[in-house]
Amino acid sequence: MDKKSRGLSRKIIIYTASIALVTIVLFTAVSTITLIAFKKHVVTKTEHEFKSNAKENLEREVISYSKILNSKIESQKNVAYLFGNLLRGDVIKFLRSEGKKCYKDRLRPLFNTAKIVLDLRSITILNAKFRAVCTYPESFSVDINRILKGNKEKLQVHNKVTFIDFHINADGSVSYGYIFSVAENKKNIGYILFDIKPEKLYSLIKTAQLHPYSQKYLWVINKKGVLIFDPQTIEHPQITLADNIDLTDKANGEALSLIVKNNILKGETGTSRYKFRNVDKFVGYTYLKEEGWGLGLTLPTNDLYAPLNRLSKYINLSTLYALSAIGVLSALVILMSITASLFGSRKIVKPILYDADIIDAVIKGDTEKRLPTGSNDELDELAHSINKLIDLFVKIKEKL
């Protein structure tokens, strides 16, 4: 094969490979754009649904915990009512004696029994002026003014139990309680204070954590927005009322303070997002009206997005594999195109070279030779035309 034939073969190969390359590039570009758009649509749609479901689940879950806590308070109220009625007669006698005789022998067995059920800290009898006139155990000092601050107006209904919110005692400990109102008549009025240790309630609140130090946890605030309880996590130690952490204070996060003031303390239920100590979080919140408690079920966005991030990584990896497969397939197609064009060019060039040899022989005087025909293609038409030209050339030559 001479230089001209090699040049023609090279052109055929280049043209064929170029067409294949352009086709593959366009196919790859369209496939890549389609895959990326599909991946973005799937991730965006999944993220939207995931967020929506997660928020709904957080809201439903915090409502469930509010019902559990409310049920706990109501059950303790009923127990306090039971023991209040058991002590009612003794309290009336005590009030008749104008506080001269404290029935400690009567308080002791009731305290020991109630302690098992209520985890009592102490039982205190108050007179009509809310002065502590009898306490058991005697070793406990009860700061009545601190306990009843903001609660006296609730105690006007007699022979009923009133919930007393969390308070800090003189010794720095935290407790909450119930007051049973006793009234023999308008003048003979008294109260029984059941002061309760908070550890069992803390344990109930902690059940929202899937495991110790879990980032998903339940916190409770009082009607002023101060944390009653926030369990220990990786971010912070256990927080109680004694730590005086006010969530309405912007120092603890402006977004959180707005949620507490504008939503939770106004009795709303819902979900929101905030930052607490530089950790981005989702929160489902609700409000217990009777207790004046706000509840927040918190979950860091990193934990919430973990399954979504895993899905996104999986989709990214699958997209990469798909693009790699397209790239390998494209390379194979181009290689096959070049190989096919190489063999095709030889098949096309070979008869052209043969025809060129015939024409060259005729020019040198061998007028008997003719181009082969019968291929029924463009080369066949060319061969017929050249054969006619040779016949004409021979006739002219014979006349001369």
Which of helix, strand or coil describes residue 176?
strand
Q: Tell which of 157, 174, 198 closes a domain.
A: 198
pLDDT of residue 53: 65
| Domain harbouring 215, CATH code | 3.30.450.20
pLDDT of residue 265: 95
The DSSP code for 234 is S
CA 51, 300, 270, 290 torsion: positive or negative? positive
Least confident of 6-15, 37-46, 128-137: 6-15
Q: Are residues 191 and 232 in the same domain?
A: no
Q: Are residues 75 and 63 in the same domain?
A: no
d(CA 45, CA 43): 6
Q: How many residues does the chain have?
A: 400
42 vs 376, more confident: 376
50 vs 207, more confident: 207
The DSSP code for 242 is G
Q: Are residues 57 and 133 in the same domain?
A: no
Residue 128 has pLDDT above 70, yes or no: yes
Q: Around Cβ 305, how many Cβ atoms within 10 Å?
A: 18
Q: Are residues 217 and 262 in the same domain?
A: yes
Decide if 37 is inside a domain: no
d(CA 92, CA 190): 8
**DSSP-assigned states of every residue in 315-347:** HHHHHHHHHHHHHHHHHHHHHHHHHHHHHHHHH
Residue 355 has pLDDT above 90, yes or no: no
d(CA 396, CA 233): 110
Strand-pairing partners, residue 288, are 293
User: Where on the phi/psi map is residue 244: left (φ > 0), alpha (ψ -120 to 50), or beta?
Assistant: left
pLDDT of residue 267: 94
Where does the pLDDT of residue 94 fall: very low under 50, low under 70, confident under 90, or very high at 90 and above? confident
Q: pLDDT per residue over 177-225, tens digit each?
A: 999 988 777 677 788 999 999 999 999 999 888 666 567 889 999 999 9
Residue 63 has pLDDT above 60, yes or no: yes
d(CA 106, CA 73): 26
Q: Are 348 and 375 in contact (CB under 8 A)?
A: no
d(CA 203, CA 387): 107
User: SS3 string of 50-76?
Assistant: HHHHHHHHHHHHHHHHHHHHHHHHHHH
Residue 376 has pLDDT above 80, yes or no: no
Q: Tell which of 248, 279, 306 closes a domain.
A: 306
pLDDT of residue 286: 96
d(CA 20, CA 158): 95
Q: Are residues 206 and 64 in the same domain?
A: yes
User: Does the predicted TM-score (pTM) go above 0.95?
Assistant: no
Pairing of strands 279-288, 293-300: antiparallel
Looking at residue 290, its amino acid is E
- Mean pLDDT of all residues in the chain? 79
349 vs 83, more confident: 83
Residue 294 has pLDDT above 90, yes or no: yes
Residue 301 has pLDDT above 90, yes or no: no
Decide if 21 is inside a domain: no
Q: Are residues 163 and 276 in the same domain?
A: no
Residue 13 has pLDDT above 70, yes or no: no
Nearest alpha-carbon partner for 197 in 227, 229, 174, 214? 174
Q: Are residues 267 and 172 in the same domain?
A: no
Strand-pairing partners, residue 272, are 283
Q: What residue has token string 């506080």?
A: 99
Residues 6+ positions from 172 with CB-CB distance below 8 Å: 242
Q: pLDDT per residue over 253-266, tens digit each?
A: 889 999 999 999 99
Decide if 226 is inside a domain: yes
d(CA 357, CA 369): 10
Q: Tell which of 306, 321, 350 closes a domain.
A: 306
- Residue 75: domain span: 71-198
* Separation of CA 100 from chain center: 62
Decide if 312 is inside a domain: no
Q: Are 133 and 94 in contact (CB under 8 A)?
A: yes
Q: How close are the terminal C-alpha atoms of the chain, in Å?
A: 37
pLDDT of residue 3: 47
Where does the pLDDT of residue 268 fall: very low under 50, low under 70, confident under 90, or very high at 90 and above? very high
pLDDT of residue 52: 66
Q: Are residues 89 and 164 in the same domain?
A: yes
Where does the pLDDT of residue 64 fall: very low under 50, low under 70, confident under 90, or very high at 90 and above? very high
Q: Are residues 61 and 90 in the same domain?
A: no
Number of domains the chain contains = 2
d(CA 205, CA 119): 16
Dihedral angle over CA of 31, 37, 39, 45, nearest 10: -150
